[in-house]
Structure 1
């Protein structure tokens, strides 16, 4: 069987980590990375963050999003969070984890998963695993009986192909085998997905634009790099110079990448899903037909065709216009 590229080369094992409303996802990130990048009591962050480390014989990158329950009611803020998470995990995560505490399984968790699939597409579920964090002394078999009696949990794992993991946070702090078991389960899921990371049109657009922006930033720093190189050449020779140049060039690449990611996250647009696109086309066609009705049947046909195109291109505007027309029609009927 083909092995994931991050187990045998320089590829980075990127994990995208969503959470709900507690500290579980941040504790989980610490355990996966085998280093404390988040405080023990941290329950939320302002924006998506990526942390890297080398552990479990691989290069790791874990991207944590803010707790999504905070943004559940705000489409604008959710888009901001998701756009940054796409840019931070581009060109795509091998694994997506949805983490929450054992005592925090509720209908809200299901709603948040639906929000994730709305923006990322249903195919992200093929790369997703539910992680239930706890600090219980009970055996996993006993805990499984408890969680499987929860209807919301059953719905979550059904959407995720029955993939879930019970993660003991307290034991993980003492014994890295607990984290290793989770990593092994993630590796199995990656193999099931053909050793490919998750990608869609948003990720593809983001990566292309990030690379273009990186190139632009690098051109603007040529003078700075030349000056620094001359400085290093005056201070070091041989292997020492090679080491210092490598460190400097690596730092520049990381800085450029992070600047590009932030820039593109501000302008990246989430395009419509297929369902939303079809709805926008239909609404645009109906709107065009209504506007063309004043010219008779031929005008309606032309208006419908034009409206469908406009609806597909600017689905959001067509939807807004549709709302305006339906509201106006309702007001006319009341007169």
Structure 2
């Protein structure tokens, strides 16, 4: 009888996390003059510093006794889910442009759901086909409207295309692996709270950021023109680091520990929808009918997936989860 409340709490946490993550789509619109790499590094530095501050303030509460293997796992997740993911995302945008890269990254809800269910064997794949079909068609419709394909498909050499698409696919693979592995880790370690795990990843992200910062500065990857652009950059970094990264990661960790990963993966669609709606609201315009249809299909796919997967009896799901953990 505890399954339904846990699922509801997990879904609400997952939706909340993705609503917060959607702010990352709005920030470049609010700060059009801010350097993307500088904003990202600022975000992860704030995420790390906030996490370090929490560790010092709480004297490491919730993290005492964690072995090196747990710390190495947090470091790997900090790279795959945060800094490394963003690095390859930027490389994809730089070499093939934002439209193509966005279209590839937009398949995350499908790749996470399919990979998660393949690894954990939570539900029969037939139960996910129709919801994922809705989500796939919805993503296609949204991209048809949002992407200027005439511009996106021109002006790039063959080598540039290969590098850009490979980078985007690497970013896609990294975050898919992170989402599935993070959920499995939290299921195996219920003694580690969502906030403690988010803080631990934040500290590891800080270490990676401190390594990446001088490299980006020397390579010319960071461009800050004048002190006038510094204050917006600091404010944007604070919002992204504290709210989007730390709070969003806490909520996502909580969701990952309660919701089947095949469902949690589909909740990532909420991030795309929220980002679009935030931008539409800021611009004061309505999305065109075709895009509204795509958004409706995205929402419908997630709701249908939740409805279809709730049919699994708790005892049967427990057996599936136990079998998946034994095989792993």
User: TM-score interval w.r.t. the shorter chain?
Assistant: under 0.3
The structure where helix makes up a greater share of residues is: 2
Normalised TM-score (structure 1): 0.25
Normalised TM-score (structure 2): 0.25
The structure where strand makes up a greater share of residues is: 1
**Higher RCO (C-alpha 8 Å, min separation 6):** 2
